[in-house]
Each structure stands twice: as structure tokens, then as C-alpha cells.
Amino acid sequence: MLTIGLTGGIASGKSTVSRRLAELGATVVDADAIARAVQEPGQPGLEGIIAEFGPSVLTPEGRLDRQALGAIVFADPEARARLNAVIHPLVRREAVRLAAAAGEDAVVVEDIPLLVETGQHGRFDLVLTVQAPAEERVRRMVEDRGMTEADARARIAAQATDEQRAAVSDVVLVNDGTVADLLRQVDRFWAERVAPRR
Ligand SMILES: CC(C)(COP(=O)(O)OP(=O)(O)OC[C@H]1O[C@@H](n2cnc3c(N)ncnc32)[C@H](O)[C@@H]1O)[C@@H](O)C(=O)NCCC(=O)NCCS
Ligand SMILES: Nc1ncnc2c1ncn2[C@@H]1O[C@H](COP(=O)(O)OP(=O)(O)OP(=O)(O)O)[C@@H](O)[C@H]1O
């Protein structure tokens, strides 16, 4: 098995990269998707959130009100640390389990936005970071996802910097051109760093 940790700031292009890696044959484990799964009603992540933040972060149907919780945690580092302490161990455990289940011959890519922040770079054979200009990422969050500019900048500020991610990375993909340019870099990464080890 070859394990690859894929990271990058919010809206940098991680999903675009992981989709290509899946096309090339990798098994992709998505930390954001795991985080959402453990926040479903009855799951331990949501139980933990209710214990920490109370029922005001629930919708009338009893689901997680993501906007309400986001407004709290991206404005307050202490609240964010309490959320992270509930969710990150659950995500990490499930990611390790899914990766192990992929089988001996698999190339496993774990897409982990907070790989550096959670100190996980040491458990991968390769760490791959995607970087994109901050202003472009803000524009995508505002135009494509309907966030306010202040919310977009608060998310970026809640994360490690490109320099911190690059410092623990084996390969950095620079996403400052077209999607096709980015996909060419992914293909080159696969040909040079993955294919020779299969
Ligand atoms: C606060 C929540 C409810 C807001 O939900 P929302 O639907 O608006 O965002 P979503 O979950 O789609 O995350 C989008 C992106 O925000 C960034 N982000 C999310 N949580 C965090 C965090 N705790 N710290 C820094 N950045 C974060 C990541 O880049 C992520 O890809 C949600 O992000 C959450 O539960 N976060 C805690 C779990 C977590 O850390 N997830 C990210 C990595 S596993
Ligand atoms: N080079 C590019 N040119 C134009 N659009 C791009 C480029 N790279 C990515 N995008 C677009 O920007 C958005 C964010 O990309 P993507 O979803 O891959 O990022 P992400 O890092 O996974 O985001 P998140 O952190 O929110 O999960 C997507 O709509 C994607 O199609």
C-alpha cells in the first residue's frame, strides 16, 4: 500500500486533485465527508457537539445547523478548539479504518483539509499540498458558495498557511492557472512519484 496525505487551504483545489487521483486508480478517503457522517443524528460527533454547545446549534428537525455552528467557531478560536477536540479524533479513527480496508495493493489518498493543523503528516508515505492564490480562493467562496468576504477570510485565518503546509510536503501543486494545468500537474505527480512504486 502507498498512502498519500492530500491537503491545502479551503477552496484551493483539493477535490479537483482527488477526483483525478481517483481516475488514475487511487482509493480516496475524504475527511470532510467523514466529519459530516459523524455529525448525523445519533452519531457520536453530533452527540459531542450537543454536549459542548447545547441545542442552539440544532435545526428544528434535530440536525446540525452548520451555519449556526460555523458562525460560532470561525469567530472564536476557543470554541473552534472545543469543536475540533470532539470531531477530529472521530474523523482520524474512521479515516485510518477506511484506508486500512483498501487492501495491500491500493494507493490510498486521504483528502484532509487540516492535515498540518492536526499533526498527521508523519503517517503518510507522501504528503501532497495544493496551493492557490488567497484572493482567488476568497472569490470562489464568495461567488460560488455564497459566503460573505468576511466569512471567507475568517476560514482562511482559521487554517495553517501555505508555508506551513509546504514545510511538511513532499510535493506542492500550484493551482494558479486553468483546471487543465492543475490536472497536468497531478498526472505528472502520479507518473513520477506513484507509478514507479506500484
Ligand atoms: C463548523 C462546520 C459545522 C461548518 O460547516 P460548513 O458546512 O460551513 O463547512 P464544511 O464542513 O463544508 O467545511 C468546509 C471547509 O471549511 C474548513 N474547515 C472546517 N472546519 C474547520 C476547522 N475546525 N478549522 C479550520 N477550517 C475548517 C475546511 O477547509 C473545510 O474543507 C463544519 O465545518 C465542522 O463541523 N467543522 C469541524 C470539523 C472539521 O474540522 N472539518 C474539516 C476537516 S475534517
Ligand atoms: N484552476 C482553476 N481554475 C478555475 N476554477 C478552479 C480551479 N481550480 C479549482 N477550481 C474550482 O474552484 C472550486 C474549488 O475547488 P475544489 O472543490 O477542488 O477545492 P477544495 O480545496 O476541495 O475546496 P474545499 O476546501 O472547500 O473542499 C471548484 O468549484 C473548482 O471547480
Between the CA of 191 and the centroid of ligand 1 the distance, in Å, is: 32
From 12, 17, 74, 155, give the residue whose CB has the most ligand 1 atoms within 8 Å, as the site to mutate: 155
Of the listed ligands, the closest to the CA of 115 is 1
CA 169/CA 43 separation, integer angstroms: 33
Ligand 2 geometric centre to CA of 20 (Å):
13
Compute the mean pLDDT over every residue in the chain, rounded to the nearest whole number: 98
Contact in structure between 108 and 18 (CB atoms under 8 Å): no
DSSP 11-62: TSSHHHHHHHHHHTT-EEEEHHHHHHHHTSTTSHHHHHHHHHH-GGGB-TTS
- Write the pLDDT tens digit of every residue in 175-187: 999 999 999 999 9
pLDDT band at 24 (very low <50, low <70, confident <90, very high): very high
Instruction: Please tell me the CATH code under which domain 32-104 is placed.
Output: 3.40.50.300
Asked whether the predicted pLDDT for residue 29 surpasses 90, the reply is yes
For the stretch 53-82, pLDDT in tens is 999 999 999 999 999 999 999 999 999 999
- Write down the domain spans for the chain: 1-26+106-198, 32-104
State yes or no: pLDDT of 134 exceeds 90. yes
Site to substitute for ligand 2 among 74, 131, 140, most atoms within 8 A of C-beta: 140
Matching CATH topology for 1-26+106-198 and 32-104?
Answer: yes
Confidence of residue 112 (pLDDT cuts 50, 70, 90): very high
d(CA 148, CA 144): 11
Q: Can you give the pLDDT at residue 82?
A: 98
Long-range CB pairs of 77-81, under 8 A, 24+ apart, other chains included: 77/158, 79/53, 80/158
User: Which pLDDT does position 61 carry in this prediction?
Assistant: 97
Question: CA-CA distance, 95 to 89, in Å (whole number)?
Answer: 10
- Mean predicted confidence (pLDDT) in 156-184: 98
Q: CA-CA distances (angstroms) from residue 77 to 13, 70, 86, 148, 157?
A: 25, 12, 14, 19, 10
The whole-number pLDDT of residue 167 equals 98
Topology at the third CATH level for domain 1-26+106-198: Rossmann fold (3.40.50)
**Average pLDDT of the segment spanning 135-160:** 98
- Report the candidate in 159, 134, 156 with the shortest Cα–Cα distance to residue 84: 159
pLDDT value at 198 more than 90 = no
String of DSSP letters for 67-90? HHHHHHHTT-HHHHHHHHHHHHHH
Query: Which numbered atom of ligand 2 lies nearest the CA of 144?
Result: 29
